[in-house]
A and B are shown apart, each in its own frame.
Chain A
């Protein structure tokens, strides 16, 4: 802003200098003002489905549908554990549940930290693949392995059980020495509908 002689003479009257406020300044300010009442009304008029917790419920339902829509509600059976042991894409789901909940005791690759190594052939509380479900649901070792049935959905328990089973035979970079007894290999992938013993649902 170049200033004229006349300006300088009246310099001390500071009010006399008022560069025009840019249009965009006024417009944006007006827009933010105009935006506020409708926003408040929209979210706080009491209509359904607009609060955070309602939106969360919708998002959660959509997520569950996305995750388990294809497989429905799984029952906690040995046969399901075996079935998903051989389905690569669902093992990934189980792996993600494992990473979120189990790695602090069993290690990132399942080699064991506080909890036992899940990658070798020795198991402490498991004689059969179905036992994994039981340990997951009820815990083991006097609570050292906590029960998960209140914290994970049945689908999640089945899938993480399959994932844990799939760890057997892998080579983790950190591995705890073997504990417990050596048990026979997991059952092979069922051809179709084989005879399978059911584990009691709890």
Chain B
């Protein structure tokens, strides 16, 4: 049989040889072909969605420097399109790439065709349908608006359904019917992802649905944040890390023509990743209002992950380099090399960023965005492109249409990634420095928030150029793919034949250890065996450990990190003066969510002097107990709003500011929200909002009519305030007192005011730990404490 060293031309054999195994000779294998048509479909979808995702990214990058680019159309605002861009990038571009590579490599590694033709087709078409449905949601402002759940709940459920019933079943059944006994490294990574991802996503999607397009998490504020960063964030981390490592382990040896550098290291770092990954989610919540021990666990897990993450880098790098294939001779080699470099950089960065004091500097700045983009464009994107270039001639049984085009794509996209992320790292540093610097007298050096935004603009322009290059590179690739398809040989319709005898491997399990011939104790031999990880070889012949252990990990993390915060009330110390939102404020909150304000404004003042000097007292967990969900945010393009209430800005200021923000704030990149001034509040929604809040455990004990009236009264008060300060009574058809902006202003004026509000007579009697359910607030009290400020 041929060896791996023979090069890259007999991929099917190679894929199997790498796995090495015993053949199940009891079965007579009939000649048939691998199902490569599904790989082609997913490959094409990957490229088309990549183009879509990057174009959307390019559009919103423009909105940061030219806020009025789309003429202020509300459906095309940054707040609504930002989650569209990231969702399409993850669930359409990268997920399709994962599916293409997994369907291709699993068949080879198992020596068997996909288990079900139908399931894989259903998987493909349903998945694309889900994405298209998601795309139509965002411009309409339909989003869950949770930090780690932008998509609507039904979309997540659909993703879960397709993933488990089509993809997972097909994958595991293919594994069960495999002809190659030993499971190669790639399959471990695939299996762990296919099991863990839906579990984490499901846990993150638990919410109270009130309609097809609206759902609210059962937990409020800090508790919901912990759920999201433990489950939702880990789901995405899993998806962008583990299958790509599996793909790397399959394709890098094929491209380099070398065997995997260290099987042993692969075992160690795989299990280290499985065990550690889920603990690191909360490393992004340092200094926020979560219990401090959870943030410490996140930080330590992040640090511990450094070497396990670099295990993949070491193995990939040493397998790729030093063989007959080099940078000049293979397109895929180039992409893989750059992908591995970006992998190394961004995983090191992830570990460093999990350190509390580092995170304190980078949190809420462009650094986060740069980190994500270097990971996704550099590591995930470049790896996917490399794999697709390697697959093209093998799928279509014809030379790539243009080698030069592919080479050009490589250089253009490399420049594109660098120009996209380096400016954002720089603007991240600029923002961090300008927002955090204090002069020798202990004052903020740059008290005006927008000085940093103005200083970042040049970087945002350069980054647009980077994005453009990346898109141009992709266009080249799409053209190359399409033309290769046009020129395809008729042989490609048949697909590659499954080798009758996939491999002639002998099992390594019984191989003699060095001590076997020495007269030593059995225990010593057992230890030697254990330390050489030989026990693992037994595992590699069965699916169970790769199925069960990831599930166990999700359970353990739930028990240790998540559940204590739900069960013990001390996790979120209650604050007696914090009261439920008024009905009008609930409506305003809904507008805040629809418009995606949280994409640019955080609501979390951290306990740092530079922050409290700028925004006011730091945020406490107890302040968010009525926030379903809380809008803590991830980035500050505008100032933090956690202490915006209490007439910090007057209502007329807000009113005029919504109309034309740039006229009021030098350096602001906020678009005009005049459509809120022109739209009417739907007061009928009050009932729905209050009912939902009641279902979530917030006490509103008056009759519904009272709340309806209260909403109208409060709107009238806010409007009266605006009109008496020189605002208009009506704009066109819409009276000021019924405009949506009034509801939003009511919400903004409430933000962060409860902490210093006087405790009402009623709640003074209660102890500090009073749960919200035991602490009823009547409307009259409510009005007395919060509306008259």
- On A, residues with C-beta under 8 Å from B are 1, 3, 8-9, 11-22, 25, 28-29, 32-33, 35-36, 39-40, 43-44, 51-53, 55-56, 59-60, 63-64, 66-67, 89, 92-93, 96-101, 103-105, 108, 113-114, 141-146, 150-151
Q: Give CA–CA (A56, B607) in the complex, Å.
A: 6
Of B36-44, B292-300, B366-374, B704-712, the stretch lying at the interface with chain A is B292-300
Per the bound structure, the CA–CA distance linking A101 and B639 in Å amounts to 12
User: Are A104's CB and B649's CB within 8 A?
Assistant: yes
Residue in chain B with minimal CB distance to A90: B441
A19-B318, A144-B725 known; 10 new pairs, CB 8 Å cut-off, are A11-B5, A14-B18, A14-B260, A28-B307, A29-B307, A60-B612, A100-B613, A105-B650, A143-B647, A143-B650
Instruction: Enumerate 15 A-B pairs (CB-CB under 8 Å) in ascending A order.
Output: A1-B322, A12-B17, A12-B21, A13-B508, A14-B260, A15-B264, A15-B537, A16-B508, A17-B262, A19-B261, A53-B618, A92-B443, A93-B443, A99-B444, A103-B448
> Min CB distance, A117 to chain B, in Å?
15
Is B609's CB within 8 Å of the partner chain A? yes
B221 to chain A minimum Cβ distance, whole angstroms, is 17
Which of B165-173, B390-398, B485-493, B498-506 faces chain A? B498-506
Complex CA distance for A21 and B311, rounded to whole angstroms:
9
Complex-state Cα separation, A36 to B306, whole angstroms: 13
A67 surroundings in chain B (CB, below 8 A): 441-443
B650 touches A114 (CB 8 A): yes
Which A residues are CB-close (under 8 A) to B268?
A: 21
Q: Are B650 and A146 in contact (CB under 8 A)?
A: yes
| Contact A15 B20, CB 8 Å, known A8-B3, A40-B296, A104-B664 | yes
B304, B506, B647: the one within 8 Å of A33 (CB)? B304
CB 8 Å contact bits of B238-282 with A (1 = contact, 0 = none): 000000000000000000001111111100100010000000000
Contact B616 A151 (CB under 8 A): yes
Q: How far is the CB of B243 from chain A (nearest CB, A)?
A: 20
B→A interface (CB under 8 Å): 1, 3-5, 17-21, 184, 258-265, 268, 272, 287, 292-293, 296, 300, 303-304, 306-308, 310-311, 314, 318, 322, 438-439, 441-444, 447-448, 503-506, 508, 511, 537, 607-609, 612-614, 616, 618, 646-650, 652-653, 656, 664-666, 721, 724-725, 756
Task: Give bound CA distance, A59 to B607, whole Å.
Answer: 10
Decide if B724 touches A142 in the complex (CB within 8 Å).
yes
- Knowing A105-B650, A114-B650, A146-B646 touch, does A66 contact B442 (C-beta < 8 A)? yes
The reply to whether B265 and A21 contact each other, CB–CB distance below 8 Å, is: yes
Chain A residue contacts of B296, Cβ below 8 A: 39-40, 43-44
Say whether B442 contacts A17, CB under 8 Å: no
Contact A1 B261 (CB under 8 A): yes
Q: Name A20's closest neighbour in chain B (CB-CB).
A: B262
With a cutoff of 8 Å between Cβ atoms, the chain A residues found around residue B441 in the complex are 66-67, 89, 92-93
In the complex, chain B residues whose CB is within 8 Å of the CB of A44: 292-293, 296
Interface of A, helix, strand, loop or mixed by DSSP: helix
In the complex, the chain A residue whose C-beta lies closest to that of B438 is A63
Whether the pair A12, B1 counts as a contact (CB closer than 8 A) is yes
User: In chain B, what residue has the closest Cβ to A21?
Assistant: B265
For the complex, give the distance between the alpha carbons of A60 and B537 in Å: 58
Q: Could you say which residues of chain B place their CB within 8 Å of the CB of A100? A: 444, 447-448, 613-614
Q: Are A36 and B650 interface neighbours, CB within 8 A?
A: no
Q: Is the CB of A59 within 8 A of B609?
A: yes
Q: Tell me the complex Cα distance, A51–B261, Å.
A: 45
Residues of B within 8 A of A105 (CB): 649-650, 653
Contact B260 A17 (CB under 8 A): yes
A32 contacts across to B, CB distance below 8 A: 303-304, 306-307
Smallest Cβ distance from A133 to chain B, in angstroms?
Answer: 19
A103 CB to nearest B CB, Å? 6
Separation of A51 and B379 alpha carbons in the complex (Å): 37
